[in-house]
């Protein structure tokens, strides 16, 4: 993918995040409709059987409130990832999901950890810090938007509520920062002004030609002065008088016709 074409709208920016969300909603609907409970597929730390939750845990939610609180941030942040970081979006999403789950499995309490909140924290941290590290105004603006919308999430990386998997939040947040450091290549082209180019020559700059050696503004550039002087010299050369010759054709009078010869 060309860097110059990194920022452009396409349907996959909406389709893939929406499809990801529909899977989560579909899993919750199946649980509710058929009276099932998939919580056993969550992450159970430091047990081999609990590793399956690294893949399945983000798609399972305990109740409708848990699902609603994760749905909107997940959709918004995933769409932002797919639009602004098109070339690395799948790497960030896929490896971020796995690493977040693995770190949760390492540091989590001995209980089942479910929900997509770890992925949300990973995306939040990545978009925040990656934009700041990039020093590009589009991505920095995105960072401030994410901070404004979801900056309050940072308080939930600490153990404030025993019912909340703060270990999953902390794992996702750390993975997001790690990815912002790993993916150092800027996804957007750094635009340079003409005077920032390596082959820039100040003498060819039309703007600088309007200033003299002392920095005083001059209305006409040296090239324009040469053109004006040339025009003045041409004007001084006298031009020869033009002679106009007009021809008038008149019809010949009858009396002047040549007489016809008598035979």
User: Which domains occur in the chain, in start order?
Assistant: 3-182 (1.20.1540.10), 194-228 (no CATH)
Q: Convert the pLDDT of each residue in 155-174 to its tens digit.
A: 999 998 888 999 999 999 99
Reduced 3-state DSSP string for 165-217? CHHHHHHHHHHHHHHHHHCCCCCCCCCCCHHHCCCCCHHHCCCHHHECCCCCE
Q: Are 123 and 176 in contact (CB under 8 A)?
A: yes
Mean pLDDT of the chain: 83
Q: Please compute Rg for the chain using Cα positions.
A: 38
Q: Convert the pLDDT of each residue in 220-229 to its tens digit.
A: 655 555 555 5
Q: How large a percentage of the chain has pLDDT more than 70?
A: 69
Place of tokens 């798609």: 59
Burial of residue 56 (number of CB atoms within 10 Å: 0-12, 13-18, 19+): middle
Q: Is the pTM of this model over 0.75?
A: no
Residue 261 clears pLDDT 70, i.e. is over it? no
């Amino acid at each position: 993918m060309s860097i110059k074409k990194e920022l452009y709208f396409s349907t996959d920016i909406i389709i893939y995040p929406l499809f990801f969300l529909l899977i989560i909603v579909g899993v919750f609907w199946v649980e509710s409709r058929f009276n099932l409970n998939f919580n056993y597929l969550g992450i159970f730390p430091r047990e081999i059987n609990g590793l399956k939750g690294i893949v399945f845990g983000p798609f399972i939610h305990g109740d409708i409130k848990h699902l609603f609180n994760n749905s909107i941030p997940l959709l918004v942040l995933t769409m932002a990832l797919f639009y602004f970081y098109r070339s690395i979006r799948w790497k960030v999403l896929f490896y971020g999901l796995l690493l977040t789950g693995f770190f949760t499995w390492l540091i989590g309490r001995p209980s089942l950890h479910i929900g997509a909140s770890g992925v949300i924290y990973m995306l939040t941290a990545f978009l925040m810090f990656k934009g700041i590290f990039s020093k590009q105004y589009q991505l920095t603006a995105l960072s401030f938007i994410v901070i404004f919308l979801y900056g309050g999430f940072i308080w939930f990386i600490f153990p404030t509520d025993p019912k909340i998997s703060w270990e999953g939040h902390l794992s996702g947040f750390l993975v997001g920062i790690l990815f912002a450091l790993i993916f150092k290549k800027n996804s957007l082209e750094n635009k340079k002004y003409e005077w920032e180019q390596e082959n820039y020559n100040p003498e060819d700059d039309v703007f600088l030609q309007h200033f003299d050696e002392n920095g005083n503004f001059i209305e006409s550039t040296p090239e324009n002065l040469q053109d004006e002087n040339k025009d003045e010299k041409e004007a001084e050369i006298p031009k020869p008088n033009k002679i106009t010759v007009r021809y008038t054709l008149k019809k010949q009078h009858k009396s002047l016709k040549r007489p016809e010869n008598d035979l």
